[in-house]
Structure formats: C-alpha cells, structure tokens
Structure 1
Amino acid sequence: MKRIVILLTLVFIWGSAAHAKCGDVVHSFNAPSKYMTGLTFDGKSLWAADRKSDLLYKIDPESGKVLKTISSPGYWPLGLAWDGKYLWNIDRNAKKIFQLDPNTGWIVHSFDFPTPSPQGITFDGIFLWISDRSTHTLNQISPDDGTTIRSIPAPTSRPNGLTFDGKYLWVTDRLKNEIYMVYPETGDVIMVLPSPGPYPNGLAWDAHFIWNVDYETNKIYRLKLDNTPYSLQNERDAEITVTHITRNQGPGTIHRLNVIFAIPQNLPQQKIVGSISYSPKSPKFVTDQWGEKFAEFDTKELPAEKTKEDIMKVKAKIYDIRYYIFPERVGSLNDIPDAVKDHYLADGEKYQIHDPYFRKIVKQVVGDETNAYWVARKIFSYVIDHMHYELSGGWNVAPTVLKRGSGSCSEYTFVYVALCRAAGLPARYQGSVVVRGDNTSFDDVFHRWAEVYLPNYGWVPVDPSGGDQRWGRDQANFFGHLSNRFLITTINGGGSKDMGWTYNTNEHWVSDPKTEVKIETVADWVSTFQK
C-alpha cells in the first residue's frame, strides 16, 4: 500500500507537469534601450547596461519604468553585478572592471581584466565571478585586484551572462539560446533551460526569479523556477515496425525456435496509441521477475534454407523529456523506498558489485556522500572521465570493462548501474529502438542507457555513453534528459529470465548439429509528423 501511494503521488505530480515547465516566462517588458548587455538586481530594482548609449538604467521590475540613469564607467559596458552596496561593471573598451556608487555614478575602484575576454559578472557574497569566452571558464576573482581565486569550466565555449542565486551560478549562451544552472564547486551543469529569446545576454537573480535581458528581442524577462519535476516537448507521432528474422542456413533443422519481443509501455515521455499488433497474430504473453512484459513466438520446426519473420508494430507519441532537478530537493539514500532497494540493489552476472576493485572506486568517488543526486552525478562524472566509446562486440562484466576503459553503450550502462548499486543507489537500464537521422529511417544498432532512482523525482534517465563529451552542457543533456528519438521497449534490472541481458528482442533455439542460424532485427520508423 505504501508503495502504491508513493507511485500515485509521483504520477499526480508528473501528470500536472506535462505543459508548465521550469524557465517559463511569467513577466516581461520592453528594455529601456536597444543594445542591452548586462543585468543585475540591487534588492529592489533591476539595473541594465546599454553598450551604445553608455548608460546604466535603474528599472522598476514590475512596470519596467526607468527610475534613474547614470553614465557607464567606460564606453562599452558589458556585465553588471551588485555586491550589496555598489555596482560592478565590465567594460570592453577600457579592459577594466569598475566598481561604482549607484547614487552618484562615481567610480570608487577598478582593476584590469584578469582574463582575456570577460563577459558576465556576479557576486557570491565574498568574491566576484566572471565568465570568459576566450578561456571558456567561469572565474572566481578577488574584488580587491582581480586575482583569480579559482576557475571552473564554462558550460559551453561561449559563456555570456552570469548571476548567482546563493547556491548556483547561472550562465547564458547566445548561440545555443540556453541558460545553465552550474554547481560552483565543480562546474557541473545541473540544469539546462531554453532561453526566452534568441540572444540571451545578462542575467539577474531577485531571490525568487531569474531575470534575463535579450539583445535581439530587446525585452527583459522574468523566469520561474518551480517544483515542476519535468517537461514534455517536441511531440513525434510515429509508427514503428520491429522485425525479427531468423534464417536457417542449414544444413540441419531448427526443431524449436522461441522469439521474444519486449513490449513498450506507456511512460511519461511515450504514449502507445491503440493496440500493438503482431505477426503472427497470437503470441504468448509472459512477465519476468522484474515485472516486464514480453510477447513470445514459438515455432516447432524451421527446415534448412527457410526463414521465419516475427513482427511487432507500434504506434506511439514520443516526446523530449527534461527533468528539472534541484539537488537539495532530492532526498538521501535512506529516503528510497525499501521495495525499490530490494529489487534494484541486487547483484547480477554483468555487474559484480562486490568486486574489490569496484568497492575501492565507490569509496574513492562517493565517499561519505548520501544525497542521491550527488551519488549519481559523481559516478556519472567518473565513468565518462575513465571510459571512451568503442563498439567491439560482446558485453563483458562491469569491472573488466572499467579496467579496459572502453565499451559500447551497453557496457557503459552495466558499469554505471553496477557502480550505483555498489554505492547503495538503485539503478536499472532502458533499451530502445532509435530514429536514425531522417524521420523515416531504420535502426539495426539500437541504444541502451541507465535509470537511477532519486527520491522526490522517481526514476530518472542517465546515459553515460551519450554524456561522454567535453562540455558540461552536453554532459548535462544526458543526465535527466531524453530526446524524442527513442521508443523504449525494455526497462529491466538485468538477467531477465526471458530477455537475459539483451533488450528489444531475444531468441532461443534447438537445432541439429552444425546448423548455421542467422538473426537479423530491424526497426523501421515512419513518422507522420513532428511538432
């Protein structure tokens, strides 16, 4: 009963989250001038910089009315920050960072650029932070002389606007039209939001909302950050035909053939339309120890030189899904329901979670961390830092794969799931057939990734092979985000009595000696439209 209540609560929250999302505009107004760059908040009012008029505008955040203007300290003002008493302004022409009195407009302090091309600036209560597009870094600097205290990687190669909300840095990228939430201790990108306009520039934080000024729309936007766990976007309507072909190339006979299809289910990001059809029409339906459902086709005799086709046809609506995870809202490992732990902390043949090598890595990487998000994220970072993608055939056990340092998407997944389970975080995997490029396409490669259980969010997708990329933004796109390219067929803990360690389809046969059997599985996609 307790488990049912937990699941129903998550379904209720998630169901209400399908349309509203974190980062939605809740208020906007026209900017006071045409070439807006920096933005900050002084506790009551917004301040915005204009690079052409060389003015700083004090703005009422509700009406958009200009309350005051002062001259910028130089002739090309960029980022703005507020330290509780004074404004700070980066000036491109002067190559200086200025501190100025907002009442008089007088410069009270300045120092030369500590980095080649600073853009945004913010104050964390003790130090300043600047974003630099030449070094691709976010730099914590001394407000006395600009000495760099430390640097972290920027989310992308073009960091721009910058603000601090008391816990996290927020950064814009005008080319990707996105806003990023960044953990200042490591540079990990935790959240990716679409910007409200096509040229997001300065950012500000007012203790409740993020503000963004857009250089192209010439508007100032207020964006909400709420408890919405995820959003669904970019609907894809598709018909997917999965065909499993068994070719008996002889010379003997296949005496028993069992072909198994994993049956796709309704999920937050995928809705099955109508009934799934099969050919032959009457498969046997079974359920494995993980609760996953399968369709099975049994053939008694398949003579030499004969072919057997088994087909599953699915119509589905598939969406991009993006989770908006605030780590402090995620519970600890102790908050995970016992029913989830009982299933998804178990060992398996491919995992070997008690291997001494694995235990040593978990201790090294996770340490005393108990927040489920940070356990998952630390392991994610470790895996992508210590592996590279290589499709070499076969699936080795997780410790062997990690020692080798390379693997396929399945091997990345086994390593990640095994490390999470060894750390006390429930994990499992999802398998899918994939849109390959064009809307009408075929897939014979397929893709697999992991899911982890985060208290207050539920099961969240994590793709360590997809996330093995340079930029923090691209890594974050594979933690709590899936595009609409995947029809998920398989959700499993591993070692299924029907599917084994594979996904999508499986097969077993009994044949005469020296009988050569060829298996071919292809998913054909026909997309009727994509919003």
Structure 2
Amino acid sequence: MPEHGVPNGISQLPTIRPIGVYALSGLAADDNCLFSIDTVRGYLVSVNPHTNNTVILNPHQLEDKEWMDVVGLSLWQDTFWFARDEEVFWCDRTALKPTFFTKLPYPVAGVAVWENTVYISCQKSGYIHLFDRNTGDLLGKFPQPGVGEETLATNEDGLWVCDKTEQTVYCLDRTTGDIQLSALTPYSSPTGIAFYQPDANQEAICYIVYADEEPYIRDNPNAESPYELTFRDRTFIHPLYLQTNQAEHYTLSNGYLVEMSYVEELLPLDAITLNNVEWRIALPASNLRQRIRHVEPIGRPFTIEEQNGQQVAVFRFDQIQPFQGGLIGWKATVEMYSLKYCLTPDDIDGDKPLPTELEGYLVDDDDLAMDTDIIQQAASEGAGTETNVLRKMLRIRNYVYDRLAYGIQPKIDTPDVALERGTGSCGEYVGVLLALARLNGIACRTIGRYKCPPQPEYRHLPLEPDFNHVWLEFYGPGVGWLPMESNVDDVIERGPYPQRFFMGLAWYHMEIGKGIPFTNMTADDKPEEFSLRDLAINHIRFRILDELNPGLE
C-alpha cells in the first residue's frame, strides 16, 4: 500500500443496492456473497456483490418474529452472530435457529467473533465487552472509540469498529482496544462492516452498509398541489478504500474527482469607475487530501501568482466602468479525499517551541475580542487545567459546543457578542474557537471556503451549495497543522460530542486560500468604504465526476 503522496486511482467497484430491503444492519461475508439483516422486515438476506441479486434466507421464520429488530450481524466459520435488544444470539447458518448466548444490561449494537473471543458493543455502557465463546464468561472490556452505535467485524489486522454517529471506521488491537487507525466513511449512517475476499489471491475488500432516510419530491395526483416533500428509506452497500500512513498518523479514505466553478458576475449597485484593477481569487489548495488536476479561466483570462505558498488567480482590468457587466472566475478539477488523523496526546511534543513564523496565529488579528472579559473568562474555563495541546483543544471545542447553538445570523458578530447571545453561524463558532485557543497558546487559523453537496451518487449533475463554510486548523508541536470542523459535530445537546471532524475532514470539504484572503481587489482611487459585495455576486457550482481510491496510483 502506498505510503506518501496524493494518489489518483479510480475506483472500479460499484455500489451494491440490494433489492426489496429497507434498513440493513450488520454485515457479514463469505467467499460468495454478503449477508445482512433488514431490521424492518426481519429478513436475513444474502446479496451477490456482482449482480445485486438478493435472497431471503429465512422465508419461513418471519411469523414468529425471531429475526425482527435484529442488529449487528456477523459470521464466524459456520455460525451467524447477532443481537436483539439486550440479548446476543448465534445460530448455525444452515438451520438458522437462534440460540441464546448472553445478555447485557443495555441494548447491544454489534457482535463479532475471533477464534474463542466474542466482542459485543454497547453504546449505553460505553464499552466493547469481551466474552469467552465456549463458556460465555466475561473476559474484560475496553472503551468504545466513538460515541454512537457501533457494529463490529474482525480479521487478521484487528477488531474493526464502525460507528454510526461518528461516520468513522476504527481498527483496534483485539487484545488492548488501542486504536490502530481511524477513517471517515464517504456516506452518513454506516450500520455494518465486513471484509469480502472472493479470490485467495486478491486483497479483501472492506464493505460498509448504510441505512437512513432521504428526502424526495413525491408526485401525488390526489393532492391540490401534486408535489409533496416526503422521506423514503435508503440502504446500500459500498466499498471503503483506505490508505494509511503510520509514520505521519493519518488515513485517507474514499475520495472523489470534483469539478468546481467559482464565478463573479459584475452587477454594480452604484455607478463607480475603477482604474488599474487587480482582482485576486484564491484557487483550491494542494495538500495531503486535495490536489488540483486542471484549472482554467471563466469569462476572462488570468495569471497565477503565489501567496504564502497558495495559488491565486489574478484578473486585470485597465478600467471597470459604471454598471459594467461581465463574468470572471475559474473552473478547477480537484481530487478530494477524506482525511482522518489518529493521534494521542503522547504524540504531541509539548516541549517543542512554536516556530517563529507561526507566532502571528496567536494574536488578535481579526476582531476576535480577545481583550474582553467574557472571552478571557471563557478561555480560562474552556481549557481548565489541561496543558497538552490535543486535550486542551478538544476541551475548548466541547466548552464552545456547550455554550453555543447553531443558527444563521444576518452578519458575523465578534466572539464576545456571539458567546453572550448563545447562538452562532459557522463563522462565529470559528471566531470563538480561535479566540479561546489563541489565548491558551494554541496557534490557529481559519480554513474554508465551500463544501460540495455530499451526494456522490449524483454524478455529472450541477450541484450548488446553499452556503459558504469555514472551519479551522490548529498547530500540534512536532506534528503540524491539524484540521477541526467549527460547528458540525455540535449535534448532541450537552454531549457527548462526536470527534469525527476533530483532526479530520470529509471528502466534500473544498480547501481554498489557506491562510490568505479568499478574494480581494486593488484599484486606483478605490473608495474607502468599497466592498466587492457592492460590485458583483458570486456563482458556485460543483460536479462530481468519479470516485477515487486512495490506494491506487
């Protein structure tokens, strides 16, 4: 498996869409097919990964409802293992007669077996429990790596955990529970994981099953208005591709080849003349998880210059006249992968000083209100007594999540105003996080600018985001810049909060202009109160062209 560089391989394995099922949970595999449970119908199904052919294996066992609400299916040798409510069962794969194995105090989400050890995950207890397969005796437990319901699988590499809320797959040491790697899934609501190896000479394929609801427009001919917004079940199985760099503690997972267009339409609100104009618009960044394959101008030619290592498109006008029209912008084809770091506090070198060139990321350079009482008190309360950068940053994030709820505001207020109000947009979350982190000696910077609508099944169709978006990066001594979402993980009132985007970014985050302004203009005699918003409106469009496998080059 390649260790370095951003790859450009294209996935050839299709999404598997079983027929006649509604919400699959748990996933198992043998040499011929995949198995899962439809929790709505109580079907145990086999699915041919090449044809989508779906077979109900328990057609005569539906009336007694033994398989209703079953979750966490797995396969060990010739026995299926699964759970229903607090109880765990196993059955011979031929007879399919469930046999009771053990019971936990709380509902079980996942079951897996490796040799003589049975692993059972329980969200409410917060642990993965280990039992002896032959005697049923409790052997021990270790903490769940995430906060959601977790399904399980095993192979030679370890115990694999798939967390529905975290949208993350973890590989744990089967004995200690230590996390070996973590990776983001390309879709939300993963409910099962398995490894399928149809050929002994072929590397096993990691498959993830997903189950959720999607909104759609229903045509109702009996209604006064025939178009209704409603929801429908969506469940499917998709390969998960991984490329892990152990030395640098990160894993890339499924990516997409994405085309993004950013265009400014000249539409002046006032009669204004600008001479000798240079209009700069940042281009997508190139880094571990993102690389530009191609870029071209829209509307008007540009030249490319570098600012702090970032590429910027420069459009030049001798003059922009009153009420002049026109389009300027760029279209870029970019490889975009999911990225997740797997670091512990011990991986951070706390004795290593901050590089001199990064000291500017500790000061109030953007109306962060760092000198106000409310922000200084919040910085002290947020960090508490933590001294390690990772623990301190996570504690600050959780403190801000406790104090803020997400809401769109007509304008971005300073952190002191947002914190006192108790609600904030993504930009206001970022402002508060920057202020609190910098006051605690953690170098931070704003990153953004857009998210591609996360609909990878909509290939070659124009997709337009509803809003722009910003998040941040913080600096880990001895490691480098680490990404952190602003508000997206603030999804559970008062926690526990997911860490899916703490030191991680999904494939749909488009990083543009890291550490530099996204767009600005210089011109002769430009009015002091001039704003680009008074001169032009922007148009943003994405197209998802193909899926990428980070393990191929």
Pairing of 1:16-165 with structure 2 (within 5 A): 31-36=76-81, 51-52=90-91, 76-77=100-101, 91=102, 95=103, 114-115=105-106, 132=122, 136-138=124-126, 155-159=146-150
Of 312, 318, 321, the residue aligned with 2:336 is 318
Check the 8 A contact 1:345/1:426 in 2, yes or no.
yes
Alpha-carbon shift at residue 521 of structure 1 (Å)? 0.9
**Contact 2:145/2:170 (<8 A) preserved:** no
Work out the CA distance in 1 between the residues paired with 2:473 and 2:509: 15
Q: C-alpha separation between the residues in 2 aligned to 1:176 and 1:415?
A: 24
Name 1:367's counterpart in structure 2: 384
Distance in 1 between residues matched to 2:391 and 2:300, nearest whole Å: 47
Cα separation, 2, equivalents of 1:215 and 1:235 = 15
Amino acid at match of 2:349: G
Partner SS state of residue 513, structure 2: strand
Shift, 1:271, TM fit: 0.9
Q: 1:434 offset after TM fit, Å?
A: 2.6
Report the equivalent of 1:464: 486
For residues 215 and 513 of structure 1, the distance between their equivalents in structure 2, rounded to whole angstroms, comes to: 53
Match of 2:289 among 258, 269, 275: 269
Corresponding position of 1:483: 506
**1:199/1:174 Cα in 2 relative to 1: closer, same or farther (>3 Å)?**
farther
Give SS of 1:51's match.
Answer: strand
1:396 matches 2:416 = no
Partner of 2:273: 254
Please tell me the root mean square deviation across aligned C-alpha atoms, in Å: 5.3
Q: Secondary structure at the match of 2:326?
A: strand
CA distance in 1, matches of 2:324, 2:451: 29
Q: 1:465 to 1:514 in 2, by over 3 A?
A: closer
> CA separation of 1:396/1:293 partners in 2, compared to 1, >3 Å: closer, same or farther?
farther
Gaps of 5+ in 2: 10-29, 32-74, 93-97, 113-118, 130-142, 173-178, 195-206, 210-243, 549-553
Q: Which position in structure 1 is the counterpart of 2:251? A: 231
Distance in structure 1 (CA, Å) of the matches to 2:543 and 2:536:
23
Quote how far apart the aligned CAs of 1:372 are. 1.1
User: By how many angstroms is 1:479 displaced?
Assistant: 1.1
Contact 2:261 2:331 in 1 (8 A): yes
Q: Which residue of 2 aligns with 1:7?
A: none
Partner of 1:22: none
Residues 18 and 232 in structure 1, CA contact (< 8 A), matched pair in contact too: no
Partner of 2:55: none
Bigger mean CA deviation after superposition, 367-376 or 349-358:
349-358
Report deviation, 1:227.
4.4
Using the alignment, how far apart are the partners of 1:482 and 1:444 within structure 2? 19
What CA distance in whole angstroms lies between the structure 2 residues aligned with 1:215 and 1:242?
34
Residues 322-350 of structure 1, C-alpha deviations (whole Å, 9 max, x = no match): 22222322222x42432254131122232
Amino acid at match of 1:482: L
Partner of 2:445: 428
- Distance across 2 between alignment mates of 1:367 and 1:463: 21
**Alignment length, in residue pairs?**
405
Listed as ranges, the gaps of 5+ residues in structure 1 are: 1-11, 20-27, 39-48, 54-73, 78-90, 96-112, 122-128, 142-151, 164-168, 183-188, 202-213, 217-223
Shift of residue 240 of structure 1? 2.0
CA distance in 1, matches of 2:529, 2:383: 50
What CA distance in whole angstroms lies between the structure 1 residues aligned with 2:167 and 2:540? 33
Q: 1:449 aligns with which of 451, 468, 471?
A: 471
> How much does 1:176 deviate?
8.7
Normalising by structure 1, what TM-score? 0.61
Does residue 306 (structure 1) correspond to residue 329 (structure 2)? The answer is no
TM-score, normalisation: structure 2: 0.59
- C-alpha contact 2:149 2:164 (8 A) present in aligned 1: yes
Cα distance in 2 between the residues matched to 1:343 and 1:480: 22
Q: What is the CA–CA distance in structure 2 between the aligned matches of 1:120 and 1:258, rounded to whole Å?
A: 61
SS at match of 1:370: coil
Q: Larger C-alpha radius of gyration, 1 or 2?
A: 1
Cα distance change on mapping 1:130 and 1:270 into 2, 3 Å: closer
> What is the DSSP-based 3-state SS (H/G/I as helix, E as strand, rest coil) of the residue aligned with 1:391?
coil
The 3-state SS of whatever aligns with 1:52 is strand
Q: Which amino acid aligns with 2:500?
A: N
What SS does structure 2 have at the residue aligned with 1:443?
coil
Deviations 1:220-241 (A, max 9, x none): xxxx995452122323223322
User: Is the 2:81–2:111 contact (alpha carbons within 8 Å) kept by the matching residues of 1?
Assistant: no
Out of 415, 427, 435, which is 2:432 matched to? 415
SS in 2 for 1:76: strand
| Change in 2 beyond 3 A, CA 1:389/1:274 | same
Structure having the higher helix fraction is 1
Q: Deviations over 1:465-492 (max 9, x none)?
A: 1111129797312212212223311212
Q: Secondary structure at the match of 1:380?
A: helix
Q: Assess, with a 3 A threshold, how the Cα gap between structure 1 residues 170 and 399 changes in structure 2: closer, same or farther.
A: farther
